[in-house]
Amino acid sequence: MTGIRDVARDVEMSTATVSRALRGLRGVSETTRGRVLESAQRLGYVPSPSAAGLASGQTRTVAVIVPRVTQWFFAAVVQGAEEVLRERGYDLLLYNLAGDPSARHRVFETSLLMKRVDAVLVLSLKPSPGERDRLSRLGRPVTIVGADLPGWATVRIDDEEAATTATRHLVDLGHERIAYIGGATSGVLDFTAPSARLAGYRRTLDRAGLEQPPGLEEDGEFTAAGGQAAALRLLARPDRPTAIFAASDEMAIGALRAARELGLRVPEDVSVVGVDDHEMARYFDLTTVAQPVHEQGRVAATQVLAALTDDDWTPEQVILPTELVVRRTTSRPGQTRT
């Protein structure tokens, strides 16, 4: 393997100069830089990240902690982040928490995370106090996507507003029995979305002067299967809701299937609206509240890199806009077969 000293020998310079030239630092004459670059190229020199990391304390690597990559939303955020990181010459270390329940603990506590990365991106996970402690002790910039955590750098949408938009859309259409499918508002996977979206739903009904009979809020675990099961329960009720607001498109999709199974027509018998604008949403004709998924990844990565570069940097809370996308799963209540 050709090392930096081979290049140094080749151009008859010190390794210090070669290092500076290679990294584009100032204090190297253009002539020298040119010769170094040419030589490195010719000799097929590739720097050793390990050595550079050891010497500089920087790894040019960012960790991304994600609940489940197979969930489209997360994959899309990762993709957005990866683009920005790649542009800036950073690598992305992926930590997927799915499957193994101990994974989360391991990543936050044991993981070599600590000396391995320059910064951390956390997706849709609200770190517990202990984890927060661990993170800040890292002494490295951290950005959280999809959670609201004062004092920390975050990128997210206004979840309550998104829920309000969705619910209001149903109210405006004339629905009065509107059910909600969400997820646990506490627990290991607690993040801001579940509680904020539930709050938005409740508040909107409230403002509309609609009573909320108990049992119209179900847990769909933020998965299609969970949404299906939840919808099945909701639609089997004697006082069947005429509309369902699912806090994620995946759950909404499950709800659509549940309706079909029960022989109910959408939107005639039941309207369904989701959140996300999942890539598959348009293929289901699903009305939804779109959020800039990809963009959240980009912004988060940009932010975390800025923290790495600028010395006078303070955590910022970025909120990206959402937008109602009306398709064909919502309409005014009607023609109910009863």
Residue number, 106 or 237, with CB nearest to a second copy: 106
Note whether 184 binds a second copy by CB under 8 A. no
Is residue 145 within 8 Å of residue 88, measured between CB atoms?
A: no
Rounded to whole angstroms, the Cα distance separating 32 from 17 reads: 9
Residue 309 makes CB contacts below 8 A (sequence gap 6+) with none
Residues in region 71-100 near a second copy by CB under 8 A:
72, 75-76, 78-79, 82-83, 86, 91-96, 98-100
Is residue 73 within 8 Å of residue 297, measured between CB atoms?
A: no
**What's the distance, CA 140 to chain centroid?**
20
Site size toward a second copy (CB under 8 A) is: 48
User: Could you tell me the sign of the dihedral formed by the alpha carbons of 183, 184, 188, 194, in that order?
Assistant: positive
Could you give the count of Cα atoms lying within 13 Å of 97 in the half-sphere of its Cβ? 19
Residue 244 makes CB contacts below 8 A (sequence gap 6+) with 178, 179, 180, 181, 231, 234, 252, 255, 270, 271, 272, 273
Q: Which does 70 bind (CB under 5 to 8 A by kind): DNA, a second copy, none?
A: a second copy
Residue number, 59 or 195, with CB nearest to a second copy: 59
Q: Considering the complex, what minimum distance in angstroms separates the CB of residue 47 from DNA?
A: 4
Task: Identify which range of 12-20, 123-131, 224-232, 293-301 contacts DNA by CB under 7 A.
Answer: 12-20
Note whether 189 binds a second copy by CB under 8 A. no
- Contact residues toward DNA (CB under 7 A) are 1, 3-5, 12-17, 19-20, 22-23, 26-32, 45-48, 51-52, 54-58
- Contact residues toward a second copy (CB under 8 A) are 1, 46-51, 53-54, 59, 61, 64, 68-70, 72, 75-76, 78-79, 82-83, 86, 91-96, 98-100, 103, 106, 112, 114-116, 224, 253-254, 256-257, 279-280, 282-284
